Structure 1
């Protein structure tokens, strides 16, 4: 049976402050521990703290997303995929909102090499964080597409768990040299998870979402029409397109690295 559409009792995005505060506290404690450790981690303490925080965040988001979208799909999902209410969709959205607030703050407050590593080439990660946060604000604020939020804000983070370790090894070549087998294992795990989850699965769900959106605003025939404006629907669709393009961009880098590895080209280790 469909769930009744209700807003969270504390009002829109306010509950996201709690995960934001938790992630910030974890980062702060990780930073202090790394800074006074006297080890290689003291060189880039914010990077080490970011690794610890994102590893926890990615794991929580992936677990919630997989439970809601895969394990509990039939009972947790509303019949109306656009305007129907999903409590699990709202929970994962609020957790993602707090996580992206933390990510943006970490990008803006770091400097030098740490800033470059957190923001990525040409600040692509900062763009990614801002895009996701914008979408989360629209989703939670309008109580819209909470059905799909269970997937978009949770399931893809499966591949981000090994990515956290990859970023740590990249930041500290000393660790990569000390644990070469572990470094290669997480690279393989990342590629094996990213390509099917973030390119194939992500694309299939996005096509379903766009089809539901077209029905919702009357561009296609269907049962469930949305009361939201076309501007909102199209804004979210465009945001999803931006994220989809990012998945294919990163996917192309991974495929190129895999091809280089198969050819015996050592350049794949720099990808």
Structure 2
């Protein structure tokens, strides 16, 4: 027996097919352009319903990836988290030895600087991998099933992200005093990362963008944070700091707003269909949590984008004020 939602979908599809054939008969007999538009609308709706049914049929897949693959992913996540931790501690120790006798040095600053530098290296790697696979490997556009299932080779991006978040979450909370928004970001990335890493219907088609390409904008952010942690650098290189801020603003707005919106819409569309057609509460809870994490991450991007734009407006206002003072 088919689930009730599948039956409803098939019934709607049959009705649309009838309407589509009737409209074609009318147009062939000399109908107006308005009726031709109705045909086009029927064809669009038919495509959407076919895609809906195609995605809903993926519930027939096993919920989890094969056990050996999951086990290998877990080992990879732990190994990456340990590798990043060792790298971070090496950078921290180097900074402490190099600057421990410098004016203004403190241990909190050492943790913050080493944290940002480690993030810079990880984000650069993810950005390069994501940019390559997004532009060279992933087809655009792709069918509904292609966007939801398969692409197991992209699971490495999810493993890197989850390993990175396992390192960043405790360090950010205990040593760097990260904001609640940033800590929430780490948790939500782990939620969608688990979906891509462990589940058959893991939406790995989207991982090159969300787990890779978006981190391109984090590279100038890490450099900018290093400047903020060292005010002397800002005083010594104000022009360079301003240039980095501008590069970060452009990269963030373009990647995390304009590119993010259609990619996140596609993910929420497909994940929403799969969640809506679940036949048990466990399925709904897992996919629903992933949808909520996607919405939460989108809200954070928009919040940060508004903060960036406000900062840019302050820079413009400050520049105009300085010009007026010089003119006076």
The alpha carbon displacement at 1:218 in A equals: 5.3
Tell me how far apart the structure 2 counterparts of residues 94 and 126 of structure 1 sit (CA, whole Å). Answer: 19
2-structure distance, mates of 1:190, 1:21: 29
Task: Check the 8 A contact 2:161/2:211 in 1, yes or no.
Answer: yes
**Equivalent residue for 1:145?**
203
Judging changes above 3 Å, is the alpha-carbon distance between structure 1 residues 258 and 145 closer, same or farther for their aligned structure 2 residues? Answer: same
The 8 Å contact of residues 107 and 126 in structure 1, kept in 2 or not, is answered as: yes
Task: Give the Cα separation in 2 of the matches to 1:185 and 1:213.
Answer: 39
Does the CA-based 8 Å contact 1:94-1:140 persist in structure 2?
yes
Residues 86 and 147 of structure 1 are in contact (CA less than 8 Å); yes or no, is this contact kept in structure 2?
yes
Q: What TM-score does the superposition give when structure 1 sets the normalisation length?
A: 0.83
Q: Distance in 1 between matches of 2:92 and 2:211?
A: 26
Which residue is equivalent to 1:96? 161
Instruction: Note if contact 1:89-1:148 (Cα within 8 Å) is conserved in structure 2.
Output: no
Q: Which has the higher helix share?
A: 2
Matched, 1:252 2:310: no
Deviation at 1:266, TM superposition (A): 9.2
The CA deviation at 1:73 is 1.7
Paired residue for 1:50? 115
1:83 shift after superposition: 4.0
CA distance in 1, matches of 2:182, 2:229: 16
Q: Where does the alignment leave 5 or more consecutive residues of structure 1 unmatched? A: 220-224
Match of 1:21 among 82, 93, 96: 82
> CA 1:83/1:73 → structure 2, altered by over 3 Å: closer, same or farther?
closer
- Cα distance change on mapping 1:31 and 1:218 into 2, 3 Å: closer
Matched residue, 2:187: 130
Higher alpha-carbon Rg: 2
What is the CA distance between 1:96 and its match in structure 2?
Answer: 0.4
Q: Distance in 1 between matches of 2:137 and 2:131?
A: 8
Q: What value does the CA root-mean-square deviation take over the aligned residues?
A: 2.7
1:168 equivalent in structure 2: 226
Aligned residues: 250
- Offset of 1:15 from its aligned partner? 1.1
Question: Using a 3 Å threshold, how does the CA distance of structure 1 residues 239 and 202 change in structure 2: closer, same or farther?
Answer: same
SS of residue paired to 2:98: coil
Structure 1 residues 98, 24: closer, same or farther in 2, change over 3 A?
same
Quick check: 1:158 aligned with 2:212?
no
Structure 1 residues 43-77: Cα deviation after superposition (integer angstroms, max 9, x where no partner): 311112112210111001111111111222229x8
TM-score with structure 2 setting the length: 0.69
Question: 2-side partners of 1:233 and 1:41: how far apart?
Answer: 49
Structure 1 residues 191-270: aligned runs within 5 Å: 191-217=249-275, 229-264=283-318
Q: 1:14 to 1:264 in 2, by over 3 A?
A: same
Q: Which residue is equivalent to 1:222?
A: none
Q: Is the deviation greater in 123-132 or in 228-237?
A: 228-237
**1:66 equivalent in alignment to 2:123:** no
- Inter-partner Cα distance in structure 2 for 1:56 and 1:84: 30
Unmatched runs of 5 consecutive residues or more in structure 2: 1-60, 322-328
